[in-house]
Amino acid sequence: MTKGFLIDTELEMLRHGKQTATSIPDLSTALKSATGEEAFHKSLCRHSEYLHLPFVKHHGIWFNWVLTKYPLPSGNVTDFAYLVTTSASNTIVLVEIEDPAKKMWVGTPIKPEKSDAFVKAFEQVQRWRADLREPENYSKLISDFRAMMGLSGMALNSWDVKYALIYGRSSENNTGARKKMYADLQREGIELMTFDNLVSAKNSGITTRRNIVKVSHPGPTFSYAYLNTEPKSELAYLNYGKFIMAKDARELLIGLGYDIEAWEEGKLLTANWGKDLPSIYDDV
């Protein structure tokens, strides 16, 4: 079953003539009441406009897709992963999040030390990086993301991998010593962000909804986990079988004017044959 903004709004309108309110709180609300990493992962999947993601270039994120719980070749599992492209290069970004209730610092404000939880989270991302220095692991990672690019010639570009950790609250960086140590950690090649950074970016209007996609192996095959916005160009690059839709996502896209039956018969939908959503849905 597919979840997401368009399922709660457009599909419910098609079926019943009214929208359904989601029970998943947005990030601002979750930070006041939710507990546990999984609650925040679900919040970011459903309210993907809070996913302010680093390293994005002018081409944006490939297909506007963010992969959820993507399994690395080593067996470790990322919280999110996505692909950023330029005309000459492709960059895979792997993201770890932690429960925002976990503290960054222990010790005194003027002599801070990293908490055990912060050290563990940081080292986990470092372990991903170390594992991907193994040629076989690196090759398998690139192979999955090449498959996600389908028939695009950009799959032949050079490849790179970057890393991000979303951890803690900005209010903890409240002394010069803590700010300095946090800045020093940024130089370790892992982009650090707090959950408050995500909220600020959304409130400033510089983010957008993204579709959250799950990956299945062997394959890989791809399918919507959270359909939050209309397809970008996946139906023009990915053949049926490589990309799979659940019945509810299929029903919705047909209702929105996409010729899904033609796509299932092997015809790539070059223009996606879709319509823009009206602005009345912006605040749902």
Average pLDDT value for residue range 76-88: 96
Average pLDDT value for residue range 254-282: 71
The predicted pLDDT at position 37 comes to: 97
C-alpha atoms less than 13 angstroms from C-alpha of 7 in its C-beta half-sphere: 20
Average pLDDT value for residue range 139-150: 98
pTM summary value: 0.93
Alpha helices in 149-194 (DSSP H): 176-186
Confidence of residue 270 (pLDDT cuts 50, 70, 90): confident
Confidence of residue 69 (pLDDT cuts 50, 70, 90): very high
Confidence of residue 276 (pLDDT cuts 50, 70, 90): very low
Compute CA distances 270 → 61, 156, 199, 229, whole Å.
19, 21, 35, 18
List 92's β-bridge partners, or say none.
83, 161
Confidence of residue 273 (pLDDT cuts 50, 70, 90): low
Coil, strand or helix at 98? coil
The predicted pLDDT at position 281 comes to: 34
CA angle at residue 152 from 151 to 155, to 5 degrees?
A: 110
Average pLDDT value for residue range 168-182: 95
Q: Are 95 and 40 in contact (CB under 8 A)?
A: no
- Separation between Cα atoms, residue 193 and residue 198, nearest integer Å: 8
Average pLDDT value for residue range 22-26: 97
The predicted pLDDT at position 284 comes to: 35
Average pLDDT value for residue range 119-148: 98
Q: What tokens were used for 213? A: 């996609």
The predicted pLDDT at position 278 comes to: 36
Q: What tokens were used for 108? A: 């005194």
CA angle at residue 260 from 92 to 270, to 5 degrees?
A: 60
Average pLDDT value for residue range 42-61: 95
The predicted pLDDT at position 59 comes to: 87
The predicted pLDDT at position 271 comes to: 60
The predicted pLDDT at position 190 comes to: 96
Q: Is residue 274 predicted with pLDDT exceeding 90?
A: no
Q: Is 26 left (phi over 0), alpha (psi -120 to 50) or beta?
A: beta
Average pLDDT value for residue range 268-277: 58
Q: Which residues of 117-145 are buried (b: 16+ CB within 10 A; e: fewer)?
A: bbeebbeebeebeebbeeeebeeebbebb
Confidence of residue 223 (pLDDT cuts 50, 70, 90): very high
Does an H or E element contain 203, and which?
A: helix 195-203
CA–centroid distance for 141 within its chain: 16
- Separation between Cα atoms, residue 39 and residue 22, nearest integer Å: 14
The predicted pLDDT at position 225 comes to: 99
Confidence of residue 272 (pLDDT cuts 50, 70, 90): very low
Average pLDDT value for residue range 74-93: 96
Residue type, 154: M
Tell me the domain boundaries of the chain. 5-281
Q: Is residue 279 predicted with pLDDT exceeding 70?
A: no
Pairing assessment for the beta strands 243-244 and 80-85 based on DSSP bridges: unpaired
Q: Is residue 277 predicted with pLDDT exceeding 60?
A: no
Nearest of 267, 262, 269, 265 to residue 231 by alpha carbon: 269
Confidence of residue 228 (pLDDT cuts 50, 70, 90): very high
What percentage of the chain reaches a pLDDT higher than 90? 89
Q: Are 63 and 208 in contact (CB under 8 A)?
A: no
Q: Is residue 34 predicted with pLDDT exceeding 70?
A: yes
Coil, strand or helix at 279? helix
